Amino acid sequence: MLNFKFTIISVAILSLLSMYSHADIYKYVDKHGRVILTDKPKHSGYKQLVKTWKGWEEAKVPKNFDWVKNQKKFDPTIRSVAKIYKLPHTLLHAVITAESSYNPNAISKAGAVGLMQLMPETAKQYGVSNRRDPKQSIYGGTRYLRYLAKLFNNDLALMLAAYNAGEGAVKKYGNKIPPYKETRNYVNKVIKYYKKYRISMS
């Protein structure tokens, strides 16, 4: 009987996860043991889920990591750098949210590091000596976005596609978003955050 209930709950959760397949998913277990899944976390108690070869798991972040607190902490720097490079600060926030969830020590499977997930070559090109340094990462990532904005005539979707897959991939497909599921999901995700932050961040 217990196994049967567990199976039903598991199937229900998997069904809900499939509904959020193109968005960040967060899980919260309340004091009654109820599991709440959403793409719009209301507080830092929600844990982001990531899809691995083992299935859906909680994203590995430092103990007691508070992304909401970090968002507020880095906001002044983000606004300042955005002003220098003439990009919307809400766009930088959107990219950082999608890339690292404001974790300066985040490392991707491909080897990208920091708030804006810079690869070694990109970091070197834009003067970043320590990719884990929040300020350096924000400066480097923003300079790269500024370059991509000029390269792709301020086409936001192409800028983001290039940031994710590389400018060469975008050019290879005739200045269109490459047909990579990860890249297309990434572009949609960042634009979604961007629209959200344009409303919530004045």
Is 99 one of the catalytic residues?
yes
pLDDT score at 193: 95
Per-residue pLDDT of the chain (202 residues; tens, 9 = 90+): 333 333 334 444 445 555 544 456 777 787 767 887 777 777 667 776 755 544 566 655 555 568 889 999 999 999 999 999 999 999 999 999 999 999 999 988 888 999 999 999 999 999 999 999 999 999 999 999 999 999 999 999 999 999 999 999 999 999 999 999 999 999 999 999 999 999 999 7
Candidates 146, 155, 193; CA nearest to 24 is: 193
Structure tokens at 119: 């690869």
Neighbours of 201 (CB within 10 A): 15
pLDDT score at 68: 87
In whole angstroms, what is the distance from residue 113 CA to residue 103 CA? 10
Q: In the structure, how many helices (H) and strands (E) does the chain have?
A: 8, 4
**Residue type at 169?**
A
Q: Which residues of 129-161 are buried (b: 16+ CB within 10 A; e: fewer)?
A: eebeebbbbbbbbbbbbbbbbebbeebbbbbbb
Q: Which domains does the chain have, with CATH numbers?
A: 2-58 (no CATH), 67-200 (1.10.530.10)
pLDDT score at 60: 55
Structure tokens at 22: 């193109």
Cα-Cα-Cα-Cα torsion 8, 11, 12, 17, nearest 10 degrees, comes to: 160
pLDDT score at 163: 97
pTM, to two decimals? 0.71
**Residue type at 28?**
Y
**Residue type at 67?**
W
Task: Note the Cα 161 to chain centre separation in Å.
Answer: 13
Neighbours of 202 (CB within 10 A): 6
In whole angstroms, what is the distance from residue 59 CA to residue 86 CA? 33
Which residues face 25 on adjacent strands? 49
Single out the catalytic residue among 58, 99, 167, 182. 99
